[in-house]
Amino acid sequence: MRIPGGSEREGRGGSTPPFRFRWFPDGLLAVLLLYGIVLLFRDILPARRELVALDREAARLEKRVQALSSEERRLGAFADALRRDPQALERFLRLQFRSHRPGEKVLRFEEDGEDPSVEDVLR
């Protein structure tokens, strides 16, 4: 039996597809699938690159967070030392204002124009 709009192959004993549009050409499905794959890759590949870039940025920011956490602990120890240890406070103020006790000799270097570091005070 022949279905209207069917192909010649069906008349030669081939099986008929269960559902077929009359207006749907044979190669159009392959072209549409190929076009869909191209569109999929066009959208996925840039998204993948962006995801990799975001992963790198996240790793960089994680390192920055760790460095800032370390700095926070160090400065917390510095603040505690200034609050609890009068000698550390005196050392800090003397380094900050470049002062000295009577009879004490202080060597000053011109390149040493920076503020005293935490390590100088915590010694």
Domain boundaries, the chain: 26-71, 85-123
Q: Are 105 and 99 in contact (CB under 8 A)?
A: no
Digit-coded pLDDT (tens) for 16-41: 656 665 666 767 777 888 888 888 77
Spatial neighbors of 115 by CB under 8 A, at least 6 apart, are 96
Percent of the chain residues past pLDDT 90, beyond the cut: 24
pTM of structure:
0.48
Mean pLDDT of 89-103: 81
Digit-coded pLDDT (tens) for 33-74: 888 888 877 878 788 888 999 999 999 999 999 999 999 999
* Secondary structure class of 17 (helix, strand, coil): coil
Could you give the CA distance from residue 31 to residue 33 in angstroms, rounded to a whole number? 5
